[in-house]
Amino acid sequence: MKTVRVLIVDDHRLFRSGVRAELGPSIQVVGEAEDVESAVATIAELEPDVVLLDVHMPGGGGVEVLRRVLGSGAQVRFLALSVSDAAEDVIGVIRGGARGYVTKTISGAELTDAITRVADGDAVFSPRLAGFVLDAFASTEAPPIDPELDSLTQREREVLRLIARGYAYKEIAKELFISVKTVETHVSSVLRKLQLSNRHELSRWATARRLV
């Protein structure tokens, strides 16, 4: 199996070394960065396969890194990693272009799995992210502007529900009598909708969740 070259971007040194130690042998950590500037520079220099991106960082946070790197047309994939569960952060970083979102409490094995998945071009949804997406797409009464992008199919909903219930992709495939590849296709399709939908409700929903 081909090793995945990973760059860790996080402003906490302890956390970077912790992640480095936990990752499986199929992952090769090629570098670390601790803020937006050094992250942008290091990504351009090392061209990693996957960037593990912290959401909260000095100098604009993960969203700023995404904007600058993806804005320049680089072909690098991002997996967001954060302690925050705020809907605004989660939806913000996904809409910024990250291929997935996991919380920092994730185990080393699960993180290794998630990185491999992102490197293969798939999306990684944590149960919480799946819950956010279901909530965001359900919470509108307004008719969709673009039906293809602005609503989820029945199947996508089922897949997201199972993720929210704590099912792994393999378990979802078994439950729905489909292949793991099909599960991945559905999740990627949801990710695309999440990123491309112009629905204002998405951002508004995320902001409203933040308000007390």
Partner 1 sequence: MRPRAGRVVAGVAQGAAAQLRLDPVVLRLAFVLLTILDGVGVVAYAALWMFTATEQTEHPHGSRDWGQVAAYGLLGFAFGALALVSGAAAGGLAMWPIAVGGIGSLILWQQAEPGRRQKWMTSTVGRVRATWVRSGIGLLLVGVGVIGFLAAQDQLAQASTGLVFTGVVLGGVALIAAPWLAGLWRELQKERTERIRQEERAEVAAHVHDSVLHTLTLIQRAAHDPREVTRLARSQERDLRNWLYMPKQDADATLAAAVRRAAAEEEDAHGVPIEIVCVGDCDLDDGLRAMVHATRQSMVNAAKYSESPVVSVYLEVEPGEATVFVRDRGKGFVLDDVPDDRMGIRQSIIGRMERFGGTARVKTAPGEGTEIMLTMKRTTP
Residues near partner 1 (CB under 8 A) are 84-86, 105, 127-128, 130-131, 134-135, 138-139, 161, 164-167, 209-212
**CB of 128 vs partner 1, minimal distance in Å:** 6
**CB of 85 vs partner 1, minimal distance in Å:** 6
Cα 72 to Cα 44, 89, 179: the distances in Å are 10, 23, 35
**CB of 91 vs partner 1, minimal distance in Å:** 13
Q: Which is nearer to partner 1, 73 or 166 (CB)?
A: 166
Please write down the HEC assignment for all residues of the chain. CCCEEEEEECCCHHHHHHHHHHCCCCEEEEEEECCHHHHHHHHHHHCCCEEEEECCCCCCHHHHHHHHHHHCCCCCEEEEEECCCCHHHHHHHHHCCCCEEEECCCCHHHHHHHHHHHHCCCCEECHHHHHHHHHHHHCCCCCCCCHHHHCCCHHHHHHHHHHHCCCCHHHHHHHHCCCHHHHHHHHHHHHHHHHHCCCHHHHHHHHHHHCC
Q: Which is nearer to partner 1, 87 or 183 (CB)?
A: 87
Q: Which is nearer to partner 1, 20 or 165 (CB)?
A: 165
**CB of 201 vs partner 1, minimal distance in Å:** 14
**CB of 100 vs partner 1, minimal distance in Å:** 16
Q: Which is nearer to partner 1, 109 or 196 (CB)?
A: 109
Q: Which is nearer to partner 1, 86 or 176 (CB)?
A: 86
**CB of 35 vs partner 1, minimal distance in Å:** 23
Tokens of 90: 């989660």
Q: Which is nearer to partner 1, 101 or 167 (CB)?
A: 167
CB distance 170 to 180 below 8 Å: yes
